[in-house]
Amino acid sequence: MTTVKANPYTGFQLGALVALRLLIGWHFFYEGLAKLVNPYWTSAEYIDQASWLFKGMFESIAASPGMVTAVDALNVWGLMAIGLGLIVGLLTRTATVAGIVVLGLYYIVAPPFVGLSYAMPTEGSYLVVNKVLIEAVALLVLFAFPTGRQIGIDAVVFRKRPALGQPQPQA
């Protein structure tokens, strides 16, 4: 039987991982909030420029005002929920996986592959790897090395409960 350490990290490791989690959480939360307060924001233009395998599917979404409204709402509230989860460490693993999924979708809409070009400008130069992909992999690292139960509300939510048969705590 192996013993699972409650905290497998050194202080430096934990600090670095939590810093990464906070920064990505901040980025997600602000991306959501900025979209929420901008009445002109819509995902339609981004989705419409879709290339690669899922072009048709994304173009259908962009063409439907109903779908666009749903995608916009999911984006805004999804980004904010993921961001908040990462910052305060609540349901951290779920938030991390959701973040990877969201970033994965952003990536496959417009991957910087050879031969694909986009009308929307990027702020840097990318070939296959872009910042969306890097952020997704950073979240993958956070999934592999979770910190929510060390630093975060998950520590309380998921704290160990006594096994059955053990004496119940005194009032």
Residues near other proteins (CB under 8 A) are: 5-7, 9-11, 14, 18, 22, 25-26, 29-30, 33, 37, 40, 42, 44-45, 47-48, 59-60, 62-65, 68-69, 72, 84, 87-89, 149-153, 155-156, 158-162, 167, 169-170
CA dist 92 to 21, 47, 83, 87, 106, Å? 9, 28, 10, 9, 21
Between residues 4 and 114, which has the closer beta carbon with respect to other proteins?
Answer: 4
- Structure-token match 């009445």, residue found: 39
Between residues 88 and 133, which has the closer beta carbon with respect to other proteins?
Answer: 88
* Token couple for 142: 């956070």
Closest CA to 99 of 112, 111, 81: 81
The amino acid occupying position 80 is: M
**DSSP label at 1?**
-
Least distance (Å) from other proteins to the CB of residue 92? 10
Least distance (Å) from other proteins to the CB of residue 82? 14
